[in-house]
Amino acid sequence: MINIPKGTKDVLPREAYKWHYIEDAARKTAELYNMKEIRTPVFEHTELFLRGVGDTTDIVNKEMYTFKDKGDRSITLKPEGTAGAARSFIENGMGGGVLPVKMYYITPAFRYERPQAGRLREFHQFGVEVYGSAAPDADAEVIFAAASFLKKLGIKDVKLNINSIGCKTCRARYNAALKAYLQPHLAEMCPTCRERFDKNPLRILDCKEEGCKKITHDAPRILDYLCDDCSEHFKKVQQLLTAGGLEFNIDPNIVRGLDYYTRTVFEFVSESIGAQGTVCGGGRYDGLIEELGGNHTPAVGFAAGIERLILLMENTGVAFPEDCGPEVFVAGMDDDSRLAAFEVVCKLREEGISAECDHMGKSIKAQFKYADKIGAKYVIALGCNELESGECNIKCMADGATSPVKICDICACFKNKMSEK
**Distances in Å between the alpha carbon of 147 and those of 48, 302, 331?**
30, 11, 47
Please report the DSSP string for 225-240 in residue order.
Answer: G--HHHHHHHHHHHHH
Q: Long-range pairs for 62-70 at CB < 8 Å and ≥24 separation?
A: 62/112, 62/113, 63/111, 63/112, 63/113, 64/110, 64/111, 64/112, 65/110, 65/111, 65/112
**What CA–CA distance (Å, rounded) separates 392 from 390?**
7
CATH homologous superfamily for the domain 328-420: Anticodon-binding domain (3.40.50.800)
Strands 249-250 and 355-357: unpaired
Q: Which CATH number applies to 16-167+227-315? A: 3.30.930.10
Beta-carbon contacts of residue 15 (< 8 Å; ≥ 6 apart):
none
Residue pair 77/65 in contact (Cβ under 8 Å)? The answer is yes
Task: Kindly compute the dihedral angle of the four CA atoms of residues 18, 21, 22, 26, in this order, to the nearest 10 degrees.
Answer: 170
pLDDT tens over the chain, length 421 residues: 999 999 999 999 989 999 999 999 999 999 999 999 999 999 999 999 988 776 666 677 778 999 999 999 999 999 999 999 999 999 999 999 999 999 999 999 999 988 877 789 999 999 999 999 999 999 999 999 999 999 999 998 899 999 999 998 888 898 889 889 988 888 888 988 888 888 788 888 878 788 888 888 888 898 999 999 999 999 999 999 999 999 999 998 887 656 678 899 999 998 777 656 889 999 999 999 999 999 999 999 999 999 999 999 998 888 888 888 999 999 999 999 999 999 999 999 999 999 999 999 999 999 999 999 999 999 999 999 999 999 999 999 999 999 999 999 999 999 988 877 6
DSSP secondary structure code for residue 257 in this structure: S
End-to-end CA distance of the chain: 47
CA gap 410, 413 in Å, rounded: 5
Domain boundaries, the chain: 16-167+227-315, 328-420
